[in-house]
Structure 1
Amino acid sequence: MKVSPTRNRQAERREATRREIVETAWEIARSDGLAAVTLREIADRIGMRPPSLYTHFESKNAVYDAMFTDAYIQLHETSAAAAIPDEPRAALLTGAQTYFDFATADLARYQLMNQPALPDFRPSESAYAASLRQYEWFRGRMAAVGVTTQADLDLWTALTSGFVNQQLANDPGGDRWRRQLPRLVDMFCTAVGIPDPEARSTSR
């Protein structure tokens, strides 16, 4: 008879509670801003006494740390799930659209990941590792289309982040800057030497 592995139900309940705390913190951040996230507000919303919440997160910054990690895990899962074409320019456009849609879908998440919205918060080493893992995955994807130098990677991230910032600041919920992504990709590819497949086909 096959014996099922023993479940650690206490650990499962603890993890479920931590997940509920983080999800509640996101709800607060999305409705009232990141600075509105407090342990007391989280405890009130989930019906937990503040001292009990401290057994899961010792401070507000510890909650932000878990949110930061969660955000980069979400980004990685979203990026990895995208169907990337083989042709380099098409691959870059798909990657740009995927990141743009992820970033503009949630202002609070984007601010925590990329902007100094919380002057007193710095991600811990373990939380920052999640962002580094995502960056290394991104570096591998860019290398696959021929973008390998740090300067070119920096140019790409500056351009795509700049488009996100413009969209969030000037046309939230719209697509004014998303419509410009094909032009961004073409300009970037011309600058770094990725050939246009249509130009190649017409020159033969």
Structure 2
Amino acid sequence: MSSEPVDGAPVLDRRAKRRQATIEEILDIAEQVMAEDGVNGLSLAEVARRLGVQPPSLYKYFGSLMAVYDALFRRGQDANLEALRSAMAGAEPGLAALRAGLEASCRWGLSNAHLAQLLFWRPVPNFVPSAESMAASHAMVDLQRRALADAAAANELGPGADTDEALYLVSIFVSGIIGQAIANEPELPWGTGRFTPLFAKLGDILTATYPPEARPR
């Protein structure tokens, strides 16, 4: 006697797994196209050609090219968040965690320049990421803000570090470094060349901008 449920759940589960596997394959190919031809070089026609299907077949999985971009955006944000979170978890709270997390994020961006451009710049006209795809980005901001608050609480930095202004300063500093590296020295390893070595100045810049309070001995 068959042990399969009468509602056909195992069949649906297999179909769902096959569908998800196809979606991941489409996104893998889309990443390859962007890495080779640029973020704006992505097209459903090219993805379909590499997948070995006709372009209309892709609409069973993605309703539009913008939907593919949104899925890639989410994939990139999730991976970047994981890099930042893992590095921060292995460091002391405060400045050490902030530096470790941001360096891991920058390294990820340099190694995944095609996704970093989609995440941090606006290379695709009219593309607006969905709220679901932005969730990881908000989580990254929260982790950085918490590290700045920890640094201020430990008097590694002054109270002004626990503000939106400090968060914006960190964002500008990091995006400037990774942007210059991707644009001008994309093939150089992290820590070499003209730009990524400057990341080591982050602590000095924050300390100079938000000096710790003088406390009696």
Q: Which interval holds the TM-score relative to the shorter structure?
A: 0.7 to 0.9
Structure 2 residue 140 is matched with structure 1 residue 126: no
Q: C-alpha displacement at 1:87, in angstroms?
A: 6.2
The structure 1 segments of at least 4 consecutive aligned residues displaced by more than 6 Å after TM superposition are none
CA offsets, 1:24-70, max 9 Å, x none?
10010001111121111111111122222101001000000000000
Q: Percent identity?
A: 31
| 1:193 counterpart = 2:211 | yes
1:37 alignment counterpart = 42
Unaligned ranges ≥5, structure 1: none
Contact 1:96 1:181 in 2 (8 A): no
**SS at structure 2 position matched to 1:145:** helix
- With CA pairs under 8 Å and 6+ residues apart, which has the higher RCO, 1 or 2? 1
> CA-atom RMSD, angstroms?
2.5
Pairing partner for 1:14 from 16, 19, 25: 19
Of the three residues 154, 158, 169, the one matched with 1:155 is 169
Is the contact made by 1:57 and 1:63 (CA closer than 8 Å) also made in structure 2?
A: yes
Match of 1:97 among 98, 103, 106: 103
CA contact (8 A) 2:29 2:47 kept: yes
Letter in 2 for 1:88: G
The answer to whether 1:47 aligns with 2:49 is no
Count of aligned pairs: 196
- 1:75 is aligned to 80
Moved more, 14-23 or 85-94: 85-94
TM-score normalised by the chain length of structure 1: 0.85
Distance 1:194 1:78 in 2: 29
